[in-house]
Amino acid sequence: MAQHEIGVAVIGYGLGGRVFHAPFVSAVPGLHLSAIMQRTGDEAARAYPATRIARSLDEVLADRSIDLVVVSTPNRTHFDLAKKSLEAGKHVVIDKPFASTSEEALALGHIAKTMGLLVVPFHNRRWDGDFQTVRKLLQEGAIGRLVTFESHFDRFRPIPRENTWKEAEDPANGMLFDLGPHLVDQVLALFGPPAAITASVRADRDRTAIEDAFDITLHYPGNDGKGLLAHCRTSYLACDYAPRFLLHGTTGSFRKHGLDPQEPALVAGAKVPVQGASEVWLQENEAAWGTLTVAPDPNDPATLVARPVKTELCDYRGFYANVRDAILGKAPLAVTPEDGFRVIRLLELARQSSAEARTLNVQF
């Protein structure tokens, strides 16, 4: 195993490989983008002329210089590609969803542990600036005891896209397994495992082959019944987007609109600087900052004070820097295989809760 530079192969060069993986692998010292597997086309070769382009997984797995494989392919293929990579002695990062079923997620964790390797869910949105801001406000007790937490990731796409696997009928596709992993993982990262789950998983559009909307409520009873409800919501029919985050507590509220700016910046052609060469990769525009509203005196609830809250820095380089350090034995994984399993299990329970129209207890 390389001690100074870890060879990385990105498997797949769709949106995930092109926007979320290759740029950030390339920007983290100690990682080397050794190969990109793109079965057809030359987009990867044009973007990374110094990187070897492979046309098959076998080519990648036979390369002894590659220590880490990043799986960024259609959802249904994740388990098979990750399993083969682990069995070939490679560490693995898997784009969401971590697996198509919780049984597959458990199996990947077991294989990795047996082989002495890492298998890591790509829950990169823990490094979103808005999520980091929410975490900081909660740690500071800025709105008192949190009562309700709402997380929305909305889109407006009333007509299904043609010729894409993402719109194909498959339990591993659809919004529940596309955006659901991000929203649920963020709740677990903040609050840990819930006691129960209530969900509605739907196909709302006039014509669709996938689940294109969901509402998931995770129940945290707390002490003396004074707990927390965490709501995760997504729709393909949100022409007017809801707040990305909306938090209500005993002394105030926090509202934040808009999505993390990293993805649109990269799609528009922005380049990620090498970590260390620049302290700031991307700072959200002030116009997009959230608003904290509090009642300084709870006995005078009509007198409220509102102020903008600067969004914390967003930086997906942090995910890959942690993977690098974990491979080298310098740090524990920030996102573990167990995190991946728990997210997939909760998504399965959400589907069951919706089908049975009832609240389910959560046990892992």
Q: Is domain 6-124+318-331 in CATH 3.40.50.300, yes or no?
A: no
CA 234 to chain CA centroid, nearest Å: 14
Global pTM value: 0.94
Give per-residue pLDDT as tens, 47-70: 999 999 999 999 999 999 999 999
Tokens of residue 174, six digits: 């659809």
What SS3 class is residue 351?
helix
What SS3 class is residue 237?
strand
Give the H or E element holding residue 309. strand 305-309
Report, as an integer, the average pLDDT of 84-108: 98
Give per-residue pLDDT as tens, 313-328: 999 999 999 999 999 9
Give residue for tokens 């597997």. Answer: 37
Domain residue extents for the chain: 6-124+318-331, 126-314+347-356
**What pLDDT, on the 0 to 100 scale, is given for residue 1?**
43
Contact residues for 174 (Cβ-Cβ < 8 A; gap 6+): 210, 211, 212
**Alpha carbon distance 246, 89 (integer Å):** 43
Percent of the chain beyond pLDDT 90?
A: 93
The crossing angle, in degrees rounded to 10, of helices 180-191 and 337-356 is 110
**Alpha carbon distance 221, 227 (integer Å):** 4
Q: Is domain 126-314+347-356 in CATH 3.30.360.10, yes or no?
A: yes
Averaged pLDDT of the chain: 95
Give per-residue pLDDT as tens, 335-360: 999 999 999 999 999 999 999 999 99
